[in-house]
Structure 1
Amino acid sequence: MLLLVAGLLVLPVLAIVGSWLQWDRVSAQVLGEMARTVLPAYAATSIGLCLVVGAGVALVGGAGAAAVTLFDFPGRRTFEWALLLPLAMPAYVVAYAYTDYLQFSGPFQTWLRAATGLEGRVFPEVRSEGGAAFVFVFTLYPYVYLLARTALVERAGHLMEAARLLGAPLRRRIRSIAFPLARPAVAAGVALALMETLADYGVSSYFGIQTFTAGIYKAWLAMDNRIAAAQLATVLLLLVALLLALERRAQRRLRFVSARGGRAGSAENRPVALTGGRLVLAWIVCGVPVLMGFVLPVLFMLRPLAADWSVLPWDRFVEWAFNSVRLGAISAALAVLLATLLAFSLRRSPDAVTRGVVQLAALGYAVPGAVIVVGLLLPVGWLQATIPQAGLGALVTATVLGVVWAYLVRFVSVALQSLQSGYSRIPGSLDDSARMLGAAGFGLLARVHWPLLRRSATAASLLVFVDVMKELPATLVLRPFDTDTLAVVAYQLARDERLGEAALPSLALVLVGLIPVVLLSRTLRNPPS
């Protein structure tokens, strides 16, 4: 059972890697032509985006984490959870919101030309690499903020107070204690943000930016060569694997801040109170990311709703929402089921083989949606060509089965992390006692583990549900005909320059995205003892 589940989840990655065994003259010609023409631009754009986004999220997320952790100022408690709000915003939704408001014919430039008497474009083009980097920085910085804040909360206050008693000034305490403590966390958060940047399709496609993801789709759809697309996808897969290795290495280095050196809220390690100019700087450091990543995009999307409700597609909204909720519920239930089987197998037999199989099955979350789609359709195409009478292509292409399979490959890892966290709180002695009383195998899972895992399973299902609702590339390609979801409709309306109509499904996605933000906020307020 374990091998079957892992095989279904890792199949797309294996198919992508195995595509090099299908090397032929046509795919070689396509890749050669792309290497001479567009691939250098794809590589330069992707690397440039990663450099800017990496530096941006490190600065914004790290500064926000330091501000709310090391210092005390009015509004700090509010900023602690408010800095998480951009997690609710899909990057492509933020791109639509800013484009609608800041483009040449948008309200801002129209007002600016009228107020100043200037003509032509008076504001930089939003649909550019700079605009994409801006969007990614202010939607992805919470990855750095979360990890850096956790690292600093654990030990920074206690150690900085000890350094203060030894006579170290504030600047030196920050430079010599806080920065080294936060550095592994910042590196892990940056790696996660860069994986999301490389996996993006909505922003790059809408802004017309030529990234590796765009190149995969061009080789596949425009040039009609899946093998060349898969071979291009291996390059993106290697980049993601490098980032994943960096993230895991940084996470291992976080162990040195895991032990508490004292109660975080004790009197001897209170945050430093800020006044005057430092107080204003703290408000700017914490307020600008929330404003740019959440408040302004939401206000920009509310504008067309307030202006004219009649232009909004209310009649189709219920249908789109139902499709999204249906796919999300099915995928969440199956993801929790598969993750439970994987976690239970690892609990029952924690040997090297089982650990390796479970780690392979959890690899999908780091794989971009475009790569998963190509990886799913390649083996289906091979089987269809080998056994045409079986009609296997019809089972996966443009069906609920195909899109749910892609979701499971991508998001089972999310459920698995939550369930493994739940298992870590169940002592092993409980299993021994249950076996002595006759509970073994799946009976142990059903009668002993599951009642204790219900909260973790509920959290896992909510997280998978939200991720499925926001997923764009896999849904866009694999969804059944005439089965549009909120994410697909928002993308299509924005692509057709109907940005006012795209506001309704976009805001619905934001509301759904607030679910994990609320869960994270509660966790930060009430950390486990």
Structure 2
Amino acid sequence: MLLPRKPADWRAKLPGSEQLILWFLVLVIALISIAPLLRLLWAALAPEGSLDLTRLLRLIASRRVSEAAFNTLWIALAATLIAVLLGLLAAWLVALTDMPGKQSWVFAFILPLMIPPQVTALACIQAISPSSPLFDLLRVSGLAPAAGEQPLYSAGGIVLLLGLHGAPLVFLSVRAGLRRVPAELVEAARITGASPAYLLFSVILPLARPAIFAGAALAFVASVGNFGIQAMLGIPGHVPTLITLVYQRLNSLGPDALPDMAVLSLLIAVMTLTGLMVSQKLGGSRDVRVVGTPRHHQQPLGRGRIAVTIAAWLWMAITLLLPLSALLGTSLTRGFGQPLSWATLTLDNYATALWGFPAIRNAFFTSLWLTLLTAILLTLAALFMAFWISWQRTRLVRLLQLSSEIAWSLPGIVTGIAAILFFLKPLPLLNISLYGTVWIILAAYLSNFLALVLRPTLAGFAQIDRALDEAAQLAGAHFLRRMWDILLPLAAPSAMAGAILVFLTALNEIQVSVLLVTADTETLGPLIIALDEGGSATLAAATGCLMIAVVLLFMGLATLLSSRLPAGVLPWRT
């Protein structure tokens, strides 16, 4: 006997919380990442509504654009070469030798990566000013520049500072690669009588080849998109690059220049993505997979240990301490170019920066709450995304991860142009334009920094046994309950590490927000350049020192919490 079918409960047809959150994230990422990039592509290829390759080729072939593109390419390649050489040397010292004081030296070596590049450029410029101790040393050695000349205002100066800024990126990648070299191969080579030099160049470095090219790719992308150094040195030195050309044209012509700036942004994006693909191809051209235990091993420095240690710290003194001391000295004087003495010593610049200049105070608070909100929102998004990427890797989830990686790989100024193009017109239904408001900066931050917090969060989920989630699901716990009670506490340390990296990166960034800020929405990054261009060098130096103090404060707090964080998530920890 057949029983009559009961009508289906309408609530059973509703999507669960898991699907609702997933589709909400899809909608948000589509609005802040995918749609702006597609709008940028459309504006570059079809500004009038139809495909116009002739205009695109004519603009790229113009003398000014072609010169800027050539300068961008060769400067980035030269800076990458310097970064690779310095990063390899630093990774060898830290990962493979018995140099004493590694922890402090790594902190000093990583610090320039955390300091805003425009502050680094400002410090180096003032380090070669007539009032700095380095200038006196150069004058004694006969290498001092002529009066009124600044050697850093040149392509060579840009290459040098970009190379120094990219070296920590190469170091972090290569150090991780060297730690994965199996100890059995090294011990076998030693037994056969291989010298330390032969062991390094014939066994260790070939096995670290993927990590070397990965670090080179990071340095190349960072060099192409580093607005702070290129603007501080290239604009006064009349060395045009693509990123400074976008900045100057948009500032002079306004939104009318957006179609042409979309083409230049697309050219920057193609350059960086091509560099990433070439690096991946070269790094993966040989199979270097081996079987063995990635155990720590060292190459004793022997009699040269003291000399190498002194040379390493002397390098830190020249490249880090001297520029920062010059910046500090300038911030404590009454006027730029004055030598620091009891007669010129003053704290007025700091008082003005903290209390007497509303633009600086407003920029600090704007940057602070924007950065905190960005870190909180991205941490929540990364925790949920890591769940699906780790255990439910569907095509939709892979697309979300790919979009976050692409947004992170592109220079921030490309994200900024894409955000302007997409949010310039009023939003449908709401009839509100985000252009000129602080919310467009927030949208660009969320798009650009998602991958930065997602990567360590994924590492945390990789250490969680999925059986815990499955057992809770069998017990009847719904998705949000499982996330809150089981998964979030276990993944929280890794997510916290990602949030710290986002905070340190976003607080002082300039690439993303330089084209999005206005007089009412100024952030700390672009403010340094504005102060320097306005002739307030001492006030810019004081603001730069305050920014460095904030970075050191949060790095110190993160270090105090390092015992609760997964190993390796803080880049300045050995």
Same fold (TM over 0.5): yes
Alignment of 1:367 onto 2:405: no
Alignment of 1:213 onto 2:243: yes
Instruction: Compute the TM-score of the two structures, normalised by the length of structure 2.
Output: 0.81
Native 8 Å contact 1:57 1:141 kept in 2: yes
Deviations 1:146-196 (A, max 9, x none): 121122223265533321211112221122112212322111111111111
Native 8 Å contact 1:73 1:273 kept in 2: yes
Computed over aligned residues only, the root mean square deviation of the Cα atoms, in angstroms, reads 3.4
Aligned to 1:464: 502
Q: Distance in 2 between matches of 1:36 and 1:94?
A: 33
Aligned to 2:440: 402
Find the partner of 1:438 among 476, 480, 500. Answer: 476
- 1:216 partner amino acid: V
Question: Per the alignment, do residues 113 and 162 of structure 1 end up closer, same or farther by CA in structure 2, a change over 3 Å counting?
Answer: closer
1:95-114 equivalent positions in 2, closer than 5 A: 95-103=121-129, 108-109=134-135
Aligned to 1:92: 118
Deviations 1:473-512 (A, max 9, x none): 3323323533433222222112223222112221233234
Deviations 1:24-70 (A, max 9, x none): 49996697366322122112211111121111011101011112222
Find the partner of 1:180 among 200, 203, 206. Answer: 206
Identity %: 23
Question: Which stretch of structure 1 is more off in the superposition, 131-140 or 73-82?
Answer: 73-82
Question: Which stretch of structure 1 is more off in the superposition, 43-52 or 14-23?
Answer: 14-23
Native 8 Å contact 1:403 1:478 kept in 2: yes
Name the larger-Rg structure: 2
Aligned to 1:10: 34
Aligned to 1:40: 66
- 2:219 partner amino acid: A
Native 8 Å contact 2:510 2:525 kept in 1: yes
SS in 2 for 1:167: coil
Deviations 1:258-313 (A, max 9, x none): 9752642xxxx44323214x6524542x3355334432232122113443211332
Native 8 Å contact 2:134 2:322 kept in 1: no
- 1:12 partner amino acid: P
- 1:438 partner amino acid: G
Deviations 1:310-344 (A, max 9, x none): 13323135443222211111111111122233223
Question: Per the alignment, do residues 219 and 477 of structure 1 end up closer, same or farther by CA in structure 2, a change over 3 Å counting?
Answer: closer
Aligned to 1:392: 432
Alignment of 1:69 onto 2:116: no
Q: Distance in 2 between matches of 1:463 and 1:110?
A: 38
Q: Distance in 2 between matches of 1:508 and 1:118?
A: 29
Native 8 Å contact 1:403 1:475 kept in 2: yes
Native 8 Å contact 2:39 2:422 kept in 1: yes
Aligned to 1:237: 269
Instruction: Compute the TM-score of the two structures, normalised by the length of structure 1.
Output: 0.87
Alignment of 1:261 onto 2:321: no
Aligned to 1:273: 301
* CA shift for structure 1 position 525: 11
* CA shift for structure 1 position 454: 1.8
Alignment of 1:337 onto 2:380: yes
Q: Distance in 1 between matches of 2:26 and 2:100?
A: 54
Q: Distance in 2 between matches of 1:218 and 1:376?
A: 18
Q: Distance in 1 between matches of 2:206 and 2:382?
A: 35
Native 8 Å contact 1:113 1:122 kept in 2: no
- 1:392 partner amino acid: I
Native 8 Å contact 2:80 2:223 kept in 1: no
Question: Per the alignment, do residues 156 and 304 of structure 1 end up closer, same or farther by CA in structure 2, a change over 3 Å counting?
Answer: farther
* CA shift for structure 1 position 239: 1.4
* CA shift for structure 1 position 228: 1.4
Deviations 1:393-442 (A, max 9, x none): 2xx11212111001011101111112211111111111111111112333
Alignment of 1:417 onto 2:417: no
Q: Distance in 2 between matches of 1:108 and 1:449?
A: 54
Question: Per the alignment, do residues 311 and 303 of structure 1 end up closer, same or farther by CA in structure 2, a change over 3 Å counting?
Answer: same
- 2:163 partner amino acid: V
Native 8 Å contact 1:10 1:363 kept in 2: no
Q: Distance in 1 between matches of 2:227 and 2:263?
A: 18
- 1:236 partner amino acid: I
Aligned to 1:505: 543
Structure 2 unmatched ranges of 5 or more: 1-22, 333-344, 570-574
Question: Which stretch of structure 1 is more off in the superposition, 445-454 or 19-28?
Answer: 19-28
SS in 2 for 1:245: helix
Native 8 Å contact 2:113 2:165 kept in 1: yes
Native 8 Å contact 1:151 1:182 kept in 2: yes
SS in 1 for 2:208: helix
Q: How many residues align?
A: 517
Q: Distance in 1 between matches of 2:207 and 2:197?
A: 15
SS in 2 for 1:473: coil
Question: Per the alignment, do residues 324 and 292 of structure 1 end up closer, same or farther by CA in structure 2, a change over 3 Å counting?
Answer: farther
Alignment of 1:350 onto 2:407: no
Native 8 Å contact 1:191 1:244 kept in 2: yes
Question: Per the alignment, do residues 259 and 74 of structure 1 end up closer, same or farther by CA in structure 2, a change over 3 Å counting?
Answer: same
Alignment of 1:449 onto 2:487: yes
- 1:215 partner amino acid: L
Deviations 1:337-388 (A, max 9, x none): 222332233345212332123221332111212111111121234x44x97x
Native 8 Å contact 2:80 2:216 kept in 1: yes
Aligned to 2:466: 428
- 1:67 partner amino acid: L
Structure 1 unmatched ranges of 5 or more: none
Native 8 Å contact 2:181 2:208 kept in 1: no
SS in 2 for 1:459: helix
Question: Per the alignment, do residues 481 and 245 of structure 1 end up closer, same or farther by CA in structure 2, a change over 3 Å counting?
Answer: same
1:157-168 equivalent positions in 2, closer than 5 A: 158-168=184-194
Native 8 Å contact 2:82 2:163 kept in 1: yes
Native 8 Å contact 2:250 2:258 kept in 1: yes
